[in-house]
Amino acid sequence: MLRLALFALFAITPMMAMDTPLLTWPDLTSRARPAPNATIAYGSDAYQKVDLWLPKGDGRHPVVLMVHGGCWQTEIADRTLMNWIADDLRRRGIAVWNIDYRGVDRPGGGYPGTFQDAAAAADALAAYAARYQLDLEHVVAVGHSAGGHLALWLAGRAKLPKGSVLRTAHPLPIKHVISLGGLPDLEATAASPDNGCGTDIIARLTGPKTTAHADVFADTSVPRLLPIGVPQDLVNGENDRIIPMRLGINYGAQASKAGDKAVLHRIPATGHVELIAPESAAWGKARSLILGALK
C-alpha cells in the first residue's frame, strides 16, 4: 500500500526548461494497478513478503529481482509501487521477484532488520526457483531510489566484513544491477541536505555507533564494498529533484575507479517518477538494459 506520506514528501512537480511538467506520484498511482501471480511470505511480518510475476508459458524464466524505494520507510512506499513496471516485464517474458522489507519506521526495521529482510527476501528466490521454473543463472537486480541502494548492496554482500551481522554464507548470485535514481553512497546521502529523503533518515537506517558496530557505513554503504564484481548501470533523470544527479555521478566514478564496470545513463526531461513509469523514455532505457543483461 502506498501511504499518504509519499505524496507529502514527493508531490513536487518540477518544471523543465520548456515548461513541460514532469510526472507526479498520483499520475502513476491513480492508474489501474496490475496484480502479481503469487505472494510469498519469507517471515511473519506483514512486510516480509515477495510478489512473484510470472510470464506465460513453460521454461526457465530469466528473473528480475526488484527492490522498491521510499526512503527506506514503509510508511512512504511498499512493493506495490513497482507493479506497473513488473507487469511490463512479465508481458515481455521476464519473471519478477518483487521484494518487500521492514522500513526504518517499522518494528524490527533499521539496522540490522531492513538489511536482513532484503537479504532473506532475495535468498528466498533460490528456494522457489524449481517450483516456478526460475532461472537462477540469469538474475538481474533492479532497484528504484532507496531500492537502488539495496539492489547494489544485495549484489555486493559477498564483500561484507567477516564480523558483520549482515554477512551470510551463500548470498544469491546476482548477474547485473540496474539502479534507477539510486542512493548507493549512504555517507554522501547523509551529507547532502538536498536529497529528497533528508539526512536524518540515514542515521535511522545504519543505527548508532556501538562498540560492536563502530563504523556504521562499513557494511551498509555500497562504496565500502567496492569492487562488487558485478556490472552496474545507473539510470538517472536530468530533472530529478529528489535524487540529485551528482549522487549518481560520484558513485559511478567510485565504482569505476575501484575496477567495476559502472555506466551512468543520464536521461533528459526526466524526473523521479518517470524512472518507474512503463511508458517513459527512462524506463524504456532501463528495460533495454535489463533485456541485454539477461541474454
Residue whose cell numbers read 539502479: 179
Calculate the alpha carbon distances from 287 to 86, 140, 153, 217, 293 in Å.
11, 11, 21, 31, 10
**228-238 per-position pLDDT tens digit:** 999 999 999 99
pTM, full prediction:
0.94
Residue 87 neighbours by CB distance under 10 Å: 17
108-153 pLDDT per residue, tens: 999 999 999 999 999 999 999 999 999 999 999 999 999 999 999 9
Of 252, 285, 277, give the one whose Cα is nearest residue 85.
277
Q: Got the DSSP string for 50-95?
A: EEEE--SSSS-EEEEEEE--STT-TTT--GGGGHHHHHHHHHTT-E
Query: Distance between CA 116 and CA 118 in Å, rounded?
Result: 6
What are the φ/ψ torsions at residue 279 (nearest 5 degrees)? -90, -5
146-155 vs 113-132: helix crossing angle, rounded to 10? 70
Q: With beta carbons less than 8 A apart as the criterion, state whether 84 and 145 touch.
A: no
Contacts of 284 (CB under 8 A, 6+ apart): none
The string of pLDDT tens digits covering residues 4-60 is 344 444 444 344 444 578 999 999 999 999 999 999 999 999 999 999 999 999 889
> What distances in angstroms separate CA 295 from CA 61, 140, 176, 277, 278, one per listed residue?
12, 11, 11, 23, 21
pLDDT tens digits, one per residue of 173-226: 999 999 999 999 999 999 999 999 999 999 999 999 999 999 999 999 999 999
